[in-house]
Amino acid sequence: MPRKSKAQKKEEVQELFEQVEFLLERINADNGVPRNIRKIAQESLTTIGRLDEKENGPAVCASSCVTLLEDIAQDLNCPLHTRTQIYQILSILEQVRDY
């Protein structure tokens, strides 16, 4: 199996972050989710938005988001459907590597 080029890796990482952004936006738009959880989802979106800056690589960005999201996944106020979405986001973020 041939190695992937840097452009292919970058495209894959972008697709992964697009999936994460979509799920975070759904959490953020759900009024049934407590405010503190929506706030952390918004912070994660902001972190992903900083991906284009030179000092933040994809792995650093993903790690920051994982740290934020792991805390709210353990929150007792987190609805079950939201917790499932958070676990889905975490599994996507685990796939992110630097290009």
pLDDT single digits (tens) 8-29: 988 999 999 999 999 999 999 9
Cα–Cα distance between 30 and 37 in angstroms, integer?
Answer: 10
**Is residue 1 very low, low, confident or very high in pLDDT (cuts 50, 70, 90)?**
low
**Domains in the chain, CATH or no CATH each:** 6-93 (1.20.1440.50)
End-to-end CA distance of the chain: 18
Lookup: tokens for 95: 């796939």
Continuous H helices in the chain: 6-29, 35-49, 58-73, 80-93
- Look at residues 39, 29, 97 and name the one whose alpha carbon lies nearest to residue 72: 39
Mean predicted confidence (pLDDT) in 49-60: 81
pLDDT single digits (tens) 71-85: 999 999 999 999 999
